[in-house]
Structure 1
Amino acid sequence: MTKFRLPHEYVMRLNAELRSRNATWIEGEPPEKISRAFVAAASMADLFEMRVAELALAQGGEKVRTLARSLLQERRQQAQRLRSTLKIASLGDVDHFVPYQLDPRREHLFGRLRGTSDKDDFGALFINQQRASHEEAVSIFCYYAVYGENEALRAFARITLPFLERRLDQMAQLA
């Protein structure tokens, strides 16, 4: 099981995420803004991992394709559970903070992977990107599961966290 990371690491990542969306982290923000930032970060992680898994299905070796199918199915289910949770979370119109395209950092990572033609190099980079992405997701979900303000989203984070931790452990073993 992955060790819990200190909240300040999450806040720094969240701040970077908000800055990438031309927003700023301001102390004393209403809880809804923090919850929306969590949703945006979780949705971006899902979007990135689904896009990368779809690419791996097209470009990866057999082992990578098998892993990609599993990841794609999990992330689609997780994204659907998040959408269902948002219906009861009472955050208002969520369309403006759920991303539908990758941010510049993840677009760069995706481009690096897309530009890798050797199947072994592709597989190694795919595993490393998945490990890093899952580390980030575990950190975000850990923090929100403990400190999140919206009860429905906190429950979603608590339920989802063990799956992310297991997948992170798997990625660490493969790397």
Structure 2
Amino acid sequence: MKTSYLACLATATAIAFAMPAFTAEKAQDFVTKAAVGGMFEVDSSKVAQDKVSAQNVKDFAQKMIDDHGAANAKLESIAGEQKLQIPAGLDAPHRTDLQKLQDGNAPLDQSYVEMQRSAHADAISLFEEYAKDGDNAPLKAFAQETLPTLKMHKEMIEKIATTIGTDPSSATSSTTPAVKTTDTPSAAAPIPGANSFTEDQAKSRIQDAGYSNVSKLTKDDHGIWRGQASKDGKNTTVALDFQGNVIAGSN
């Protein structure tokens, strides 16, 4: 009996010591992704201020600098208290997007707005997951407190998108001539045609259709954007044609 008790005690002790490691790993992943996303919001918005023309886009960029700057500082403080690391800079995908803005010719209203739509969709997904299932109490509270602001930002940028003609669900401007006609029924298969949706626009359009985790987007020789996404807990291939039709399971 004594041997059995000691064995159980040893097992329980091992589990107790193992659990913080798993907790720390999950918390660090959230901190890393949230910090990188927050840094990108501030850095891209600083670049955009000098390269966008519409006043509502300029105002939005300033709000991102203010709101995400404050959130970034709060996250850094919590991470320090929890002995977690804040990344020193952006990851490769965000550096690439930032470089596009830095190298692009003004006005870049359309590019900036589409990046913000995509970035906020990703941020909301990240914060919703951690607000629900996070196992580090201070970080979970931070996610819960920040989430309403992120959703407000998403609503703001969606409204702005419709005012400058970058909403792929509406008729697009002359600088974005991809067509979404009101009298064309949803296609059973993607329709070939000259497609001028950018990768960011294609991703946003697919997300607007209810998909998440949109990745590996490439445009084929027929002008059709193809990639991977998930919906209702299932992974699938997905395609976006020049008319804005989103078709799942299309190869």
Q: TM-score scaled to structure 2, two decimals? A: 0.53
Unaligned runs of at least 5 residues, structure 2 = 1-20, 162-251
Superposed, 1:48-59 pairs within 5 Å as 48-59=40-51
Mapping of 1:1-175 within 5 angstroms? 30-63=22-55, 64-88=57-81, 90=82, 92=83, 94=84, 97-119=85-107, 122-175=108-161
Verify the 8 A CA contact 2:120 2:150 in the aligned structure 1: yes
The residue identity in structure 2 corresponding to 1:72 is I
C-alpha deviation, 1:62, in angstroms:
4.9
Deviation at 1:83, TM superposition (A): 2.0
Structure 1 CA distance, aligned partners of 2:90 and 2:104? 19
Which has more helix, going by share of residues?
1
More strand by share: 2
Q: CA deviation at 1:87?
A: 4.2
Give the structure-1-normalised TM-score. 0.75
CA RMSD between the two structures: 1.4
Q: Provide the C-alpha distance between the structure 2 equivalents of 1:111 and 1:43, rounded to a whole number of angstroms.
A: 19
- Which structure's relative contact order is higher, taking Cα pairs within 8 Å and 6+ residues apart? 1
Detail structure 1 runs of 4+ shifted over 3 Å in the superposition: none
Tell me the amino acid that sits aligned with residue 132 of structure 2.
V
- Contact 1:47–1:100 (CA<8 Å) still a contact in 2? no
SS at match of 2:50: helix
What fraction of aligned residue pairs are identical, expressed as a percent?
Answer: 24
